[in-house]
């Protein structure tokens, strides 16, 4: 098990994006939106598409995710990272992985064993059995992953926010209309180091703008577990404290809510 990971430098937001296919009103550049609504995402008029993220000069890549999607249980994806050769005629692929998306709650996540330095990322999605007949990808993450020196606390909790309309009759019968289901995490940590605190300040500044942040409880988990346990959404934090006096230990609890 690895220490938890936080993805906050999302190359999807500042890189050049291109796609092999897109609906005119729902282009791939919609992936820069922070909302997870299908009406604001990238839509493919078919069941296969390739997303290309170009971000020269070369930088680190490790975590990749698609969120709020309509991907079916049999969807697969291929993730490649690489850099252009010396003559800029083609791409020398450094990493190349293909496997099932393991889509859970509309999301799929893959993490490389270690960071790869490259200029380009290419994600190909194939979902021939999708009952909708098209692909809907509202949110995506691709970029590096930051891990604190020590792991988060077992005092951390998982919760959910429910959006429902409920009517109760005079006889006590309840009629419930579900609207949305939003997961949330309270990520407690009592052992951040001084260097961790510096990065956390940067992360919280970015999160304060409304940018979605990715949290992975265990980056070494299988793609199926990553899809189930990871959370991508709005992050906030309470006070940074020093519970152990002058020791290089800081406590901070982060709150992360899933972006809908």
Mean pLDDT, rounded, of the chain: 94
Contact residues for 255 (Cβ-Cβ < 8 A; gap 6+): 184, 185, 186, 187, 235, 236, 237, 238
246 pLDDT higher than 90: no
172: left (phi over 0), alpha (psi -120 to 50) or beta: left
Position 85 confidence tier, pLDDT thresholds 50, 70, 90: confident
CB count within 10 Å of CB 202 equals: 12
Sign of CA dihedral 144, 149, 154, 156: negative
Q: Please give the Cα distance from 226 to 12 (Å, whole number).
A: 20
Residue 70: the pLDDT is: 97
Q: What pLDDT is attached to residue 19? A: 97
What integer pLDDT is reported at residue 87 of this predicted model?
66
CA 190, distance to chain mean position in Å, is 24
pLDDT in tens, 13-32: 999 999 999 999 999 999 99
What the chain holds in terms of domains, given with CATH numbers, is 5-143 (2.60.120.260), 157-258 (no CATH)
**113 cis-preceded (ω within 30 degrees of 0):** no
- Whole-angstrom distance, CA of residue 46 vs CA of residue 84: 29
Q: Give the residue with greater pLDDT, 37 vs 90.
A: 37
Confidence of residue 84 (pLDDT cuts 50, 70, 90): confident
- 167-186 residue pLDDT tens: 999 998 999 888 889 999 99
The string of pLDDT tens digits covering residues 100-122 is 999 999 999 999 999 999 999 99
Q: CB under 8 Å to 42, separation ≥6 — which residues?
A: 19, 22, 26, 27, 28, 29, 30, 31, 51, 136, 137, 138, 140
Q: How far apart are CA 16 and CA 33, in angstroms?
A: 14
Residue 164: other Cβ atoms inside 10 A? 10
């Amino acid at each position: 098990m690895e220490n938890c990971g936080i993805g906050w430098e999302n190359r999807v937001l500042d890189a050049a994006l291109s796609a092999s296919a897109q609906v005119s009103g729902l282009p791939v550049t919609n992936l820069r939106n922070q909302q997870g609504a299908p009406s604001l995402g990238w839509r493919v008029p078919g069941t296969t598409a390739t997303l290309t993220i170009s971000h020269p000069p070369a930088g680190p890549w490790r975590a990749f995710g698609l969120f709020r999607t309509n991907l079916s249980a049999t969807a697969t994806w291929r993730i490649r990272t690489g850099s252009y050769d010396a003559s800029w005629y083609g791409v020398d692929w450094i990493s190349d992985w293909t496997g099932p998306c393991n889509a859970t709650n509309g999301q799929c996540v893959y993490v490389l064993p270690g960071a790869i330095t490259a200029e380009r990322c290419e994600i190909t999605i194939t979902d021939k059995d999708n009952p909708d007949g098209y692909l809907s990808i509202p949110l995506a993450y691709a970029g590096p992953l930051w891990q604190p020196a020590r792991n988060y606390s077992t005092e951390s909790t998982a919760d959910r926010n429910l959006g429902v309309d409920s009517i109760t009759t005079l006889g006590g019968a309840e009629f419930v209309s579900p609207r949305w289901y939003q997961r949330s995490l309270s990520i407690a940590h009592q052992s951040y180091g001084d260097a961790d605190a510096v990065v956390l300040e940067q992360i919280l500044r970015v999160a304060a703008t409304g940018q979605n942040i990715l949290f992975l409880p265990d980056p070494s988990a299988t793609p199926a577990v990553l899809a189930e346990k990871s959370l991508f959404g709005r992050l906030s934090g309470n006070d940074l404290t020093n519970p152990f006096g002058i020791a290089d230990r800081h406590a901070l609890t982060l709150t992360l809510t899933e972006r809908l």
